[in-house]
Structure 1
Amino acid sequence: MVEPTKARVAVTAHTGPLEPLTAAAVRRLAAEAAAHDEVAPLSEQPLLWLEDPQAAVVHLLATLSPGDAAQVVGYAQVEVGSTTTARAELVVHPAHRGAGVGSALLEAAGGQAREVPSRVLHVWAHGDLPQARALVRSAGMAVVRELWQMRLDLARRPTAPDRPLPPGVTVRAFVPGQDEEAWRRVNSRAFAHHPEQGRMTSADLRAREAEPWFDPAGFLLAERDGVLLGSVWTKVHPAGEHGDEPVGEIYVVGVDPDAQGLGLGGALTDLGLTHLTVTGLRSVILYTEAANEVAIRTYRRAGFVRSGVDVMFGDDTPRSPSGATMAP
């Protein structure tokens, strides 16, 4: 289906993996928007799903003429694997903002969400930029979730030694081709109620292992008697993504519910920070839910401060199969 905007831009929907030329155009669009806004408009997962044949997503392309992949001026990705919530992220090229491209993409994303009558649309606004907030609010959407980015200057990290591991626990590096399934099992248990992390599939994990940033030496597994109890996964962002120099990230810290209460999460976080420090990095980031007050207090005690925020907007009003709003 092709929908013209007032800027004469066509929005087309595509399922399945994008062609390499089109995927490259989307990545280029995202990079140009990030350079302009100083914040990435698309998170890691949508970029990994551009050419993933197993991803349950719909790609919405806004082009200057139908089918012209080289002229992508806007893009939205809608995750449609759930029957209750369709999550979307979108980006519009800075030179084409204010011309209705964003509104057309948001409307098309809503149409994809409503393919299942009971499903609602949630949209991420990375960096909570004023233009993005105005766009989603004009569609009647409200804040339903906030994700904080927190940052630590490693020069200000407390000089106390790393917290000790629980008795009998040892730590080793992740071994690709050997540890995937054990790690996924613990990760799914540790994040059973997390809307993204707890749903990581084998394909999602393999895709990250194929990324240039992946380093098994910074992916540490904690075991007792050969049984995996938890892990800390670190990441290094190249210069330009989060500033003028490389920046580390505490990417994932997960502890099996059966091993919680032992102090393992804090000990693993310390090990991750130490690993990033010895690589010569000067700052580290992590992401945490704004509603997780316990985690935020813990990170603040470690020297982290809030450095950014991603906001999810949604219209969670239930609708009848006809699309009419239902009475409460």
Structure 2
Amino acid sequence: MRVSRQIRTDRTVQGLDAALSDLISRAHATDNQPPFNDQTRIALATGSAQIITAENEAGTLLGVAVRDGAGFEAVIDPSARGLGHGGALIAALLDTPGGAEITSAWAHGDHPGAAALARRHAFSRKRVLYRLARALDAGTPSDARDTPPSLAITTFDADRDADDWVALNARVFATHPEQGAILRADLDARIAEDWFDPRSFLLVRDAATHALIAYNWLKIEPGSEDGEIYVIGVAEEAAGRGLGRHLMNAGLARFVELGLSTASLYVDDSNAGAVALYRSLGFETDTVDVQYRRPQPGVRS
């Protein structure tokens, strides 16, 4: 069967506007997860992303690939899947000027089709990211903030806490290729998002030194009944004091306070300690994301 499509490299986010938003919404509803991660969404919002589209002869959007730096993500309209549009998009993206420098791709959902496309373009499976979820009910901790002053939780104040958080986050995630690379500008971009609420950004400072030693940043999308443990971290020197569990319980209590029905989080499958903690708190696997990588040009794998 002949499939009609045109691949376009001249589209902009502003030009696509509602069509791109509708595509993202349809994919999210079908797949039960967003097609793009936060970094890609910010790149789209700021105009720094490179976009390639697949469209039919009438100009209807069938799919889009979004490049941000050395990585990309792609989504195909649910009604147009299985027709080769994804393969055509990725081939076109990798064939653009500078395409050889693309080394990373995220696939949201551990689908055989994504794995096959990855192999076709010499990408190999590198990381597995679980989305874990649990229901919030009467059994959810509600007294997690009634703690000794030495572990008192405060909420985020940008003037006081932003630079300290960036520094601590970089230390906590020193070996993490994305989270550990967040700069003050990246934090500011997220603060500008419509979901950001400083009252849901929980911090712990050392009672003696006032140094920031742990945090639990919560994310609640407007209108959503799900609360996400967006990122949680504990300084190495504060490990072993139960801060991770303490902050997790405080985050769950905050979600209950807001009347949410579920909680979720993302975690690398290689982080066995964190996975064990989350499962002990009632979280179960909901979806699986996979990162594929290929060597940089001139670098042997």
Please state which band the TM-score falls in when normalised by the shorter chain. Answer: 0.7 to 0.9
Instruction: Determine the structure 1 residue equivalent to 2:28.
Output: 34
User: Residues 141 and 252 of structure 2 are in contact (CA less than 8 Å); yes or no, is this contact kept in structure 1?
Assistant: no
Write the distance in 2 (CA, Å) between the matches of 1:250 and 1:147: 14
User: Residues 64 and 73 of structure 1 are in contact (CA less than 8 Å); yes or no, is this contact kept in structure 2?
Assistant: yes
CA gap of 1:260–1:167, structure 2 versus 1, over 3 A, is: farther
State the one-letter code of the partner of 1:60: I
User: Residues 5 and 54 of structure 2 are in contact (CA less than 8 Å); yes or no, is this contact kept in structure 1?
Assistant: no
Task: Report the CA distance between 1:48 and its aligned residue.
Answer: 1.4
The DSSP-based 3-state class of the residue aligned with 2:82 is coil
Write the distance in 2 (CA, Å) between the matches of 1:235 and 1:134: 33
Instruction: Determine the structure 1 residue equivalent to 2:68.
Output: 79
Write the distance in 2 (CA, Å) between the matches of 1:60 and 1:157: 47
Q: Which stretches in structure 2 are left out of the alignment for 5+ residues? A: none
The DSSP-based 3-state class of the residue aligned with 1:32 is helix
Instruction: Determine the structure 2 residue equivalent to 1:242.
Output: none
Instruction: Determine the structure 2 residue equivalent to 1:62.
Output: 54
For residue 106 of structure 1, the aligned residue among 90, 95, 107 is 90
State the one-letter code of the partner of 1:115: G
Does 2:98 correspond to 1:115?
Answer: yes
| Per-residue CA distance 1:89-109 (angstroms, 9 max, x = gap) | 101122333333211221133
Instruction: Determine the structure 2 residue equivalent to 1:183.
Output: 165
Q: TM-score, normalised by structure 2?
A: 0.85
| Per-residue CA distance 1:253-294 (angstroms, 9 max, x = gap) | 112233333322221112111111221222211110011112
Task: Report the CA distance between 1:308 and its aligned residue.
Answer: 1.0
Q: Which stretches in structure 1 are left out of the alignment for 5+ residues? A: 81-85, 240-244
Deviates more, 1:144-153 or 1:224-233: 224-233
Write the distance in 2 (CA, Å) between the matches of 1:299 and 1:167: 25
Write the distance in 1 (CA, Å) between the matches of 2:261 and 2:84: 41
The DSSP-based 3-state class of the residue aligned with 1:27 is helix
The DSSP-based 3-state class of the residue aligned with 1:50 is helix
The DSSP-based 3-state class of the residue aligned with 1:77 is strand
Write the distance in 2 (CA, Å) between the matches of 1:72 and 1:252: 33
User: Residues 149 and 307 of structure 1 are in contact (CA less than 8 Å); yes or no, is this contact kept in structure 2?
Assistant: yes
Give the helix-richer structure, 1 or 2.
Answer: 2
Write the distance in 2 (CA, Å) between the matches of 1:8 and 1:158: 50
RMSD over aligned CA atoms reads 3.0
Pairing of 1:264-303 with structure 2 (within 5 A): 264-303=243-282
User: Residues 7 and 92 of structure 2 are in contact (CA less than 8 Å); yes or no, is this contact kept in structure 1?
Assistant: no
The DSSP-based 3-state class of the residue aligned with 1:155 is coil
Write the distance in 2 (CA, Å) between the matches of 1:281 and 1:182: 30
Aligned pair count? 298
% same residue? 33
Does 2:37 correspond to 1:43?
Answer: yes
